[in-house]
Structure 1
Amino acid sequence: MRGDMPRILASLALFFFLVPVTFVRGPEPTGNTSQDITLEPIVLDSEDPARTKLGQLEFLGGWRMTSDHHQFGGISAMLVMDGNRFFMLSDAGVLIGFTLNEQDNAAERLFVAPLPDGPAKPNEFARKIWDSESLVHDPETGQFWVGFEDQHSIWRYGPSFARKEAKRDLAIAKKWPANGGSEAMLRIPGDATKDTQFLIFSETAPYRKGGTQALIAMADPAEATTTFKRFGYQAPAGYRITDAALLPDGRALILNRRFTPLDGISAIVSIADPTKIKPGTVWDATPIARLKSPIRVDNMEALAVTTEGEDIIVWIASDDNFSVVQETLLMKFRLLRGKAKRRSSSPEPENEKAEESPGFSSLE
């Protein structure tokens, strides 16, 4: 029995990592609705607490986040606005908002609330399964876009998430695995000559030329008239994309995750240029940092970028899968050798015939 114990523990770890603790039948259980979040400061490296350097990232601080609210956790995407105002989105379709007071290690002006609308339940007995995995924002209009992984759909919400404005089922992604859909999304601002475009990444759907499938939405992906083109994304070997965010100079940071029972959890942050994307080809990225034990790491799924003066700040958060054996972590880094001027860029649209998929949009 003693010789089997490592294998048993590894199997249990794999179970808790891959199987979120959710209810899919019957009424939703009642729970604590506390609007408090506790932030416990953490160090980067448990074996070297003074360490701050991690590849091209410099650790500035981090926190273990806990709350008694029964819907807290499962962080899959996040946005960070001015004044350290955070909007985190869980894979259960719940928004977690707060202002981070770094000096006092406190979450202030916070709320925990579900999205105003989302995909329909699979049947009358099931609980709502809003597998929301990706999130982007237009700072000029205040609109938000959310990618739902299991349903392969994109929904657009109005300012402050007040209401759903439009939604579209992506027929072009109908063959993507149910648990490998719109894992990450990027919004590429347009200019006088190009419309704003969106990049939508599958976590696991293989691309014929290598890597995993991704889509270029030539305009708003929630609208029925928008056309799409395919390309591939090549993650580091053994890793899967979990989120992406634009840098001020137009390049993209990409968060990639890996888990094996023997090696545990790790993550790689990569950097790539969206202007190099061409339909029908594979887009790859250059790794700049790796998070692996003894570095504090969990199921890293959410990524955001802000600026402080001339510094580019990188935020990374983890998805605890609503599991008692995992953690919700929030980590803050400075991007080294990354002080570039702002510019707008769009992926190149040529070299592959546009694939248009039917859909619908609606206003409420």
Structure 2
Amino acid sequence: MRLSRRGVLAGLGSLALPRAAQAVEQNRFPVAIEARPITAFEPRSPDRRRFGALQFRGGLVLSCGHPRFGGFSGLWRSSDGRDLVAITDRGYWLTAKVVSRNGRPAALEDAAMAAILGASGRPLARSRSFDTESLAIAGGVAYVGVERTHEVLRFDWAGKGVDARARAVPVPSEVRRLPRNRGLEAIGVVPAGPLAGTVVAVAERSGREDEPTLGVILKPGRPGLFEVARHDGYDITDLAFLPSGDMLLLERWYKPWRGVGMRIRRIAGRDLKAGTLLDGPYLIEANLGYEIDNMEGMSVHLDQGRTILTLISDDNFSFIQRTLLLEFELPDGMQS
């Protein structure tokens, strides 16, 4: 057979394809996750289900022997709650299927992890942008907030999933001046109202102890800044939107060897505007007398019309902390 230069190059290219495909496949690796049920949010009152404005549905203590597992700081669940995506604060994705029994989370199946890839295809874990702290997925796009470098990155989640490469989202100069380890811990996409489809992010803490923290509305061409009131030394660790457009803020107080606290605040969607100071009522508050840890990620989805809040904790890769996945229901009367 006569070989042309084009034929030789095509042949070499076909030989390279399996290796390239294998390299992509190797970015995703399966992990075996053990899940121990949490049946009582308050161990001292095992029959109690109502906590503040929320109903406890159940939870899991998650464990895994892989060294990349842990440090979960951002969380998303699909509209039906079946698919779960989380990110670690060391630049890795976790994907899994949530198994529920009798209305409670029971296990995670088909779990896998993968490096979050930068624009060049190099893992963010090997760059200055390793500290991925917040996650939202909407319209087939994943948005990730990066602390320390104070970036917002977007990924073609619908098209490429964990193999998508980062693209930078422009942010105002005020975001770049946030404290080094107090950056964009919370991110979400507005589902309804005048800002529908707009990315919103909030810094963990941009000022002193109880000073308001910075928030940003990343509307293309018209970004806007706002502030969120802070109380009692709590920091903002995540946000999620209710279908109505109201914003929920997950807050955390944590000091090693001293304790941890968690609470969730509700902000009226109509108040989310540039130049405003946002505040609102608390739906729940808990301390170490309850089944919590360093709660850092939150998502909202619907289960047969019921509004479900899911929380995940960051164990800081410490043997004295736990990775918890908790589910709460927002009663019908609280949804509007």
- Name the TM-score, length of structure 2 as normaliser: 0.80
2:35 touches 2:108 (CA, 8 Å); kept in 1? Answer: yes
SS of the residue corresponding to residue 204 of structure 2 reads strand
Which residue does the alignment assign to 2:21?
A: none
Selected match of 1:245 from 240, 245, 248? 240
Structure 2 Cα separation of the partners of residues 195 and 41 of structure 1: 37
Residues 59-70 of structure 1: pairs in structure 2 closer than 5 A: 59-70=56-67
1:274 is displaced (CA, Å) by 2.6
1:180 is displaced (CA, Å) by 0.8
Letter in 1 for 2:273: K
Residues 101-112 of structure 1: pairs in structure 2 closer than 5 A: 101-103=99-101, 105-112=106-113
Residues 43-58 of structure 1: pairs in structure 2 closer than 5 A: 43-58=40-55
Structure 2 Cα separation of the partners of residues 260 and 101 of structure 1: 33
1:214 is displaced (CA, Å) by 1.1
Structure 2 Cα separation of the partners of residues 149 and 340 of structure 1: 32
Which residue does the alignment assign to 1:180?
A: 182
Q: Structure 1 residue 39 and structure 2 residue 41: aligned?
A: no
Letter in 2 for 1:255: L
- Structure with the greater alpha carbon radius of gyration: 2
Which residue does the alignment assign to 2:72?
A: 75
Q: For the structure 1 residues 79 and 327, does the alpha-carbon distance in structure 2 shift closer, same or farther, using more than 3 Å as the test?
A: same
Structure 2 Cα separation of the partners of residues 88 and 68 of structure 1: 17
Structure 2 Cα separation of the partners of residues 199 and 210 of structure 1: 20
Q: Deviations over 1:33-83 (max 9, x none)?
A: 761000001231121222211101111111100001110010101110135
Structure 1 Cα separation of the partners of residues 285 and 50 of structure 2: 11
Q: Structure 1 residue 273 and structure 2 residue 268: aligned?
A: yes
Structure 2 Cα separation of the partners of residues 194 and 290 of structure 1: 29
1:340 is displaced (CA, Å) by 4.0
- Name the TM-score, length of structure 1 as normaliser: 0.74
Residue segments in structure 1 that go unaligned for 5+ positions in a row: 1-32, 220-225, 342-364
Which residue does the alignment assign to 1:308?
A: 303
1:333 is displaced (CA, Å) by 0.9
Q: Structure 1 residue 291 and structure 2 residue 286: aligned?
A: yes
1:234 is displaced (CA, Å) by 0.9
Q: For the structure 1 residues 194 and 178, does the alpha-carbon distance in structure 2 shift closer, same or farther, using more than 3 Å as the test?
A: closer
Structure 2 Cα separation of the partners of residues 112 and 248 of structure 1: 29
1:317 touches 1:328 (CA, 8 Å); kept in 2? Answer: yes
Residue segments in structure 2 that go unaligned for 5+ positions in a row: 1-28
Q: How many residues align?
A: 295
Structure 2 Cα separation of the partners of residues 109 and 34 of structure 1: 7
Which residue does the alignment assign to 2:216?
A: 215
Q: Deviations over 1:167-210 (max 9, x none)?
A: 1464331210111111101212467x767322111111129x94
Residues 319-338 of structure 1: pairs in structure 2 closer than 5 A: 319-338=314-333
Structure 2 Cα separation of the partners of residues 83 and 299 of structure 1: 23
Q: Deviations over 1:2-49 (max 9, x none)?
A: xxxxxxxxxxxxxxxxxxxxxxxxxxxxxxx76100000123112122
Which residue does the alignment assign to 2:114?
A: 113
Q: For the structure 1 residues 293 and 274, does the alpha-carbon distance in structure 2 shift closer, same or farther, using more than 3 Å as the test?
A: same
Q: Structure 1 residue 98 and structure 2 residue 100: aligned?
A: no
More helix by percentage: 2
SS of the residue corresponding to residue 256 of structure 1 reads strand
1:288 is displaced (CA, Å) by 1.0
Which residue does the alignment assign to 1:167?
A: 168
Which residue does the alignment assign to 2:15?
A: none
Structure 2 Cα separation of the partners of residues 243 and 134 of structure 1: 7
Q: Deviations over 1:314-346 (max 9, x none)?
A: 1111000111111000001111244646xxxxx
Letter in 1 for 2:165: K
1:250 is displaced (CA, Å) by 1.2
Q: Structure 1 residue 132 and structure 2 residue 129: aligned?
A: no
Structure 1 Cα separation of the partners of residues 275 and 81 of structure 2: 40
Q: For the structure 1 residues 286 and 163, does the alpha-carbon distance in structure 2 shift closer, same or farther, using more than 3 Å as the test?
A: same
Structure 2 Cα separation of the partners of residues 196 and 105 of structure 1: 32
Letter in 2 for 1:203: E
SS of the residue corresponding to residue 270 of structure 2 reads helix
Letter in 2 for 1:211: P
2:93 touches 2:162 (CA, 8 Å); kept in 1? Answer: no
- The percent of aligned pairs where both chains have the same amino acid is 27
SS of the residue corresponding to residue 105 of structure 1 reads strand
1:57 touches 1:333 (CA, 8 Å); kept in 2? Answer: yes
Structure 2 Cα separation of the partners of residues 187 and 83 of structure 1: 17
Letter in 2 for 1:308: D
Which residue does the alignment assign to 2:198?
A: 197
Structure 2 Cα separation of the partners of residues 306 and 277 of structure 1: 21
